[in-house]
């Protein structure tokens, strides 16, 4: 086996395959630590989206009277809050992951993108726990459980890919510019307002909807909601736009990351 | 013989500005808005400057050099942690590098979990870790605590666990950076034994250390890196000898310490000068076994420091640490010092070193925070005493390193 320092074209992809076990262990570490460090452990995965649902229901459902497309507002918002909460928690973890693992970066070699990717994947356990509660809420409101729920794990794949892409860009920027971390909460807040968590896409004036769909979370959240609730079909065109944007972002993220990763150990 | 490592014209440049200061996007934007070009960091240093060498398969090579000479940068480039500015590196075979013991250990995880995590970080396969698990636990001696979170481990246990994992890697090429500098004597012995096993296992090893006797005993060949350049490459005995002779010689009229490059510590306080005197305070030019000696350490405090501890460490000409003479151990406690300059006298009633050349390091630290570290900053030649009761009888370097003042009382009829 020969390992040349100057890896050949395309060989870096093979390198990621070679380091798959480290990737697995880093995800495992993140999950393990998260549940060890908190008293409530797995309950956090539910508490956050559940309370957001109550707050949204009171303020937006009741007081503002936002249209929830014929579904009780709690079900309407919670079905979106599950994927949204995943995004909101995993994205900052991924975006700050390189700095959080600076020891590893300055002391050992491994393909660097493993770090933001592992951080993004660590949050999916919370996602599934929160999804189980969605089933309970639907049963409470007397909704029939459809086969569509089985599409949730499938829809999670592009969602994780989106977090990985954004996380790679932010984490690489974070190494170079230390104040990037302050923009992450702002970015997430802005994303909440341009994603159909609180309101349905139909509430947005028609001429802005196309623009809105450039945000990949729009197609994804609508698809998650359509898959869970009865009598709805996933808008494949909208979902296709999301996946196309995510793919584009992943390519940009990979190019930028590959360009900057060589200097990580010197800057961190 | 096949070549295991090949380094060709390797250079690594660091921008001084980018090294320590954190860049803020804010500043970049503000400067762009003011139409002002960002001030270019023209201050660069060459951590490595056109270094070339090659290592055969199965060779064990020591790397010596002062702090900041580029030894660690070299290992980091070879281990692919950082990239060279110019030049090429080729390493054949499975590489493992040990730049730190226990990298990636997490306090909340148990010993067992950390073995798996650390092992995979060091590049081991899960299957390999499973196979060697019981050996690792044995080596570390932590059977009872294997399912306890390592935040409950002592620092010694952590270190042993970290080294145990590292010692069970099975690489073709191994890079080791100064891991032996930590831990107690027992631990260091274990590490050296493990290193010896690696050597006899036919692996190629590059070993960076300040411990000259360890290098001398483990590595037949040594490379000396000085100010980023390869200064000498050859049999360890010769290279170590010429490396050690470059240290400044101590003399009576004092020695300026401000110009020394590659010093450690955060610089809150710095040594400026060292003077040697006899009991009456007259400068001494020759140091003699058994005679009184006073070392006056001048220093400059730049920022207020707490609990400063002064220490003078004495090494043999082969690099073995003989003594650490510390103000703390001697019971001299100083609560704090404000900016300004001053000196501290170290009084040695009777110099216990046998005639030989010694090297001295100076430390100015508080626990957990070094202010100033001057490694091997000067050489000290000790000579045979000419006066006094001993008159130099039997005082020779072949009898050892230190002279122990003693009295003998015989008890035998007729003697």
**More confident: B37 or A116:** A116
pLDDT band at B184 (very low <50, low <70, confident <90, very high): low
B328 in the same domain as B287: yes
Residue A4 lies in a domain: no
B122 close to A (CB below 8 A): yes
Express each pLDDT in B105-142 by its tens digit.
999 899 999 999 999 998 889 999 999 999 999 988 88
Instruction: Name the 3-class secondary structure at B141.
Output: coil
Q: What is the mean pLDDT of residues B366-378?
A: 85
Residue B197 lies in a domain: yes
Q: How many domains does chain A have?
A: 1
Of A179-193, A218-232, B19-33, B194-208, the one with minimum mean pLDDT is B19-33
B101 pLDDT above the threshold of 50: yes
Of A151-155, B156-160, B227-231, give the range with the top mean pLDDT.
Answer: A151-155
Taking a contact as any Cβ pair under 8 Å apart, which residues of chain B between 7 and 66 contact chain A?
Answer: 14, 18-19, 22-26, 28
B365 min Cα distance to partner chain A (Å): 24
A6 close to B (CB below 8 A): yes
Instruction: Give the per-residue pLDDT at B20.
Output: 46
Residue A1 lies in a domain: no
Of B28, B89, B117, the CB nearest to A5: B89
Got the DSSP string for A114-141? HHHHHHHHTTHHHHHHHHHHHHHHHHHT
Residue B414 lies in a domain: no
B39 in the same domain as B87: yes
Residue B250 lies in a domain: no
Contacts of A262 in chain B (CB under 8 A): 82-83
Q: Nearest-CA neighbor of A165 among A49, A53, A251?
A: A251
Q: Nearest-CA neighbor of A238 among A258, A256, A221, A254?
A: A221
B179 in the same domain as B260: no
Residue B410 lies in a domain: no
Q: What is the mean pLDDT of residues B36-65?
A: 82
B270 in the same domain as B224: no
Q: How many domains does chain B have?
A: 2
B82 close to A (CB below 8 A): yes
Which domain, by its residues, includes B180?
3-244
Which domain, by its residues, includes A78?
11-267
pLDDT averaged over chain B?
Answer: 84
Contacts of B19 in chain A (CB under 8 A): 266
**What angle in degrees, to the nearest 10, is found between the helix axes of A73-95 and A183-193?**
150
Across the interface, whether the CB atoms of A104 and B100 are under 8 A apart is answered: no
B365 in the same domain as B330: yes
Domain boundary among B244, B266, B294: B244
Instruction: Give the per-residue pLDDT at A1.
Output: 31
Of A103, A177, A263, the CB nearest to B25: A177
Instruction: Give the per-residue pLDDT at B75.
Output: 92
- CB count in 10 Å sphere of residue B335: 7
Instruction: Give the per-residue pLDDT at B253.
Output: 60
Residue of B nearest to A36 (CA): B108
Across the interface, whether the CB atoms of A1 and B94 are under 8 A apart is answered: yes
Give CA separation, A36 vs A30, A41, A84, A148, B161, in Å: 10, 7, 24, 33, 22
A29 close to B (CB below 8 A): yes
- CA B212 to CA B63: how far, in whole Å? 10
Contacts of B100 in chain A (CB under 8 A): 103, 107
Q: Nearest-CA neighbor of B276 among B392, B381, B390?
A: B381
B193 in the same domain as B151: yes
Instruction: Give the per-residue pLDDT at B22.
Output: 62
ipTM of this complex? 0.86
A62 close to B (CB below 8 A): no
- CA A201 to CA A204: how far, in whole Å? 6
- CA A80 to CA A197: how far, in whole Å? 5
B15 pLDDT above the threshold of 80: no
Residue B295 lies in a domain: yes
Which domain CATH number covers B69? 3.40.50.300
Instruction: Name the 3-class secondary structure at B322.
Output: strand
Instruction: Give the per-residue pLDDT at B183.
Output: 56
A104 min Cα distance to partner chain B (Å): 6
Got the DSSP string for B184-228? -HHHHHHHHHHHHHHHHTT-EEEEE-S-HHHHHHH-SEEEEEETT
B259 in the same domain as B170: no
Express each pLDDT in B391-404 by its tens digit.
666 677 778 888 88
Within a 13 Å sphere around the CA of B90, how many CA atoms are in the beta-carbon half?
14
Beta bridge partners of A122: none
Cβ-Cβ contacts under 8 Å between A and B: the total is: 93
A186 min Cα distance to partner chain B (Å): 15
Instruction: Give the per-residue pLDDT at A6.
Output: 45
- CA B19 to CA B82: how far, in whole Å? 13
Instruction: Give the per-residue pLDDT at A5.
Output: 42
Q: Taking a C-beta distance cutoff of 8 angstroms, is the pair B302, B269 a contact?
A: yes
Instruction: Give the per-residue pLDDT at B40.
Output: 53
Residue A5 lies in a domain: no
Of B80, B92, B117, the CB nearest to A29: B117
A9 close to B (CB below 8 A): no
Of B26, B106, B126, the CB nearest to A179: B26
- Report helix, strand and coil shares of chain B as percent, to nearest 5: 25, 35, 40
Of A156-170, B179-193, B340-354, the one with minimum mean pLDDT is B179-193
Contacts of B32 in chain A (CB under 8 A): none
Taking a contact as any Cβ pair under 8 Å apart, which residues of chain A between 148 and 187 contact chain B?
Answer: 173, 176-180
Across the interface, whether the CB atoms of B81 and A32 are under 8 A apart is answered: no
Taking a contact as any Cβ pair under 8 Å apart, which residues of chain A between 196 and 235 contact chain B?
Answer: none
B325 in the same domain as B200: no
B391 close to A (CB below 8 A): no
A18 close to B (CB below 8 A): no
Give CA separation, B164 vs A133, A150, B140, B155, B159, in Å: 44, 46, 5, 14, 8
Q: What is the mean pLDDT of residues B92-108?
A: 86
B152 in the same domain as B279: no
pLDDT band at B266 (very low <50, low <70, confident <90, very high): confident
A21 close to B (CB below 8 A): yes
DSSP, res B85: S
B19 pLDDT above the threshold of 60: no
Across the interface, whether the CB atoms of A6 and B88 are under 8 A apart is answered: yes
Q: Encoding tokens for residue A120?
A: 């993004």
Best mutation site among B44, B81, B165 for testing chain A: the one with the most A CBs within 10 Å? B81
Model confidence pTM above 0.95: no
B74 min Cα distance to partner chain A (Å): 13
B263 in the same domain as B162: no
Taking a contact as any Cβ pair under 8 Å apart, which residues of chain B between 325 and 384 contact chain A?
Answer: none
Instruction: Name the 3-class secondary structure at B179.
Output: helix
**More confident: A105 or B263:** A105
Across the interface, whether the CB atoms of B81 and A179 are under 8 A apart is answered: no
Residue B229 lies in a domain: yes
Residues of chain A with pLDDT under 50: 1-7
Residue A3 lies in a domain: no
First-to-final CA distance of chain B: 66
Q: Taking a C-beta distance cutoff of 8 angstroms, is the pair A84, A197 a contact?
A: yes
Taking a contact as any Cβ pair under 8 Å apart, which residues of chain A between 90 and 149 contact chain B?
Answer: 103-110
Residue A212 lies in a domain: yes
Of A64-73, A134-143, B290-299, B333-342, the one with minimum mean pLDDT is A64-73
Residue B52 lies in a domain: yes
- CB count in 10 Å sphere of residue B339: 12
B267 in the same domain as B231: no
A114 min Cα distance to partner chain B (Å): 11
B224 in the same domain as B289: no
Q: Nearest-CA neighbor of B283 among B319, B252, B237?
A: B252
Contacts of B94 in chain A (CB under 8 A): 1, 3
Give CA separation, A144 vs A68, A137, A229, A267, in Å: 18, 11, 8, 54
Instruction: Give the per-residue pLDDT at A221.
Output: 97
Q: Encoding tokens for residue B290?
A: 């058994």
Residue B405 lies in a domain: no
């Amino acid at each position: 086996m020969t390992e040349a320092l100057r890896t050949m074209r395309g060989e870096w992809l093979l390198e990621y395959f070679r380091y798959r076990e480290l990737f697995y262990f880093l995800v495992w570490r993140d999950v393990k630590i998260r549940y060890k460090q908190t008293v409530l452990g797995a309950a956090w995965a539910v508490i956050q989206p559940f309370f957001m649902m109550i707050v949204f229901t009171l303020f937006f459902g009741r007081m503002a009277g936002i249209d929830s497309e014929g579904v009780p507002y709690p079900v309407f918002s919670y079905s979106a809050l599950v994927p949204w909460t995943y995004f909101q928690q995993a994205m900052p973890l991924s975006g700050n992951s390189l700095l959080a693992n600076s020891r590893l970066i300055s002391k050992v070699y491994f393909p660097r993108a493993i770090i933001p990717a592992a951080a993004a994947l660590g949050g999916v356990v919370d996602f599934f726990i929160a999804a189980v509660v969605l089933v309970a809420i639907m049963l409470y409101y007397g909704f029939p459980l459809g086969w569509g729920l089985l599409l949730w794990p499938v829809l999670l794949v592009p969602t994780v890919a989106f977090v990985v892409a954004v996380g790679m860009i932010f984490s690489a920027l974070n190494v170079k510019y230390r104040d990037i971390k302050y923009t992450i909460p702002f970015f997430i807040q802005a994303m909440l307002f341009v994603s159909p968590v609180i309101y349905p896409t139909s509430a947005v004036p028609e001429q802005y909807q196309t623009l809105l769909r450039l945000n990949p979370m729009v197609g994804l959240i609508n698809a998650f909601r359509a898959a869970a609730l009865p009598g709805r079909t996933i808008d494949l065109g909208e979902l296709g736009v999301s996946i196309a944007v995510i793919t584009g972002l992943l390519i940009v993220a990979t190019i930028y990351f590959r360009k900057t990763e060589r200097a990580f150990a010197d800057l961190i | 013989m096949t070549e295991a490592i090949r380094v060709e014209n390797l250079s690594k440049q660091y921008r001084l500005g980018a090294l320590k200061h954190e860049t803020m996007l804010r500043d970049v934007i503000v400067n762009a808005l003011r139409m002002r070009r960002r001030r270019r960091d023209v201050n660069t240093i060459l951590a490595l400057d056109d270094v070339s060498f090659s290592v055969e398969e199965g060779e064990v090579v020591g790397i010596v050099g002062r702090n900041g000479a580029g030894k660690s940068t070299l290992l980091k480039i070879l281990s692919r942690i950082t990239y060279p500015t110019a030049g090429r590196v080729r390493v054949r075979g499975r590489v493992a590098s040990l730049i730190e013991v226990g990298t990636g250990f997490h306090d909340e995880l148990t010993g067992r979990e950390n073995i798996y995590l650390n092992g995979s970080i060091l590049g081991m396969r899960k299957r390999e870790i499973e196979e060697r698990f019981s050996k690792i636990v044995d080596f570390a001696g932590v059977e009872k605590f294997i399912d306890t979170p390592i935040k409950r481990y002592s620092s010694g246990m952590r270190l042993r666990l970290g080294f145990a994992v590292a010692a069970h890697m099975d690489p073709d090429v191994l890079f080791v950076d100064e891991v032996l500098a930590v831990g107690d004597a027992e631990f260091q012995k274990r590490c050296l034994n493990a290193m010896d096993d690696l050597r006899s296992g036919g692996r190629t090893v590059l070993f960076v250390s300040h411990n000259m006797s360890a290098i001398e005993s483990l590595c037949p060949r040594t490379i000396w890196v000085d100010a980023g350049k390869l200064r000498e490459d050859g049999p360890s005995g010769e290279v170590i000898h010429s490396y050690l002779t470059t240290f400044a010689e101590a003399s009576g009229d004092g020695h300026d310490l401000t110009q020394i490059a590659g010093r450690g510590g955060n610089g809150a306080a710095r040594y400026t000068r060292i003077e040697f005197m006899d009991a009456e305070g007259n400068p001494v030019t020759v140091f003699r076994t058994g005679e009184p000696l006073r070392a006056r350490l001048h220093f400059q405090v730049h920022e207020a420091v707490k609990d400063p501890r002064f220490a003078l460490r004495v090494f043999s000409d082969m690099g073995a640490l003989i003594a650490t003479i510390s103000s703390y151990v001697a019971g001299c406690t100083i609560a704090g010092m404000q900016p300004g300059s001053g000196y501290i006298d170290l009084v040695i009633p009777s110099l216990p070193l046998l005639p030989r050349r010694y090297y001295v390091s100076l430390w100015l630290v508080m626990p957990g925070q070094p202010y100033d570290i001057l490694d091997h900053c000067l050489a000290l030649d000790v000579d045979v005493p000419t006066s006094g009761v001993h008159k130099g009888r039997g005082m020779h370097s072949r009898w050892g390193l230190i002279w122990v003042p003693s009295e003998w009382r015989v008890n035998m009829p007729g003697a």
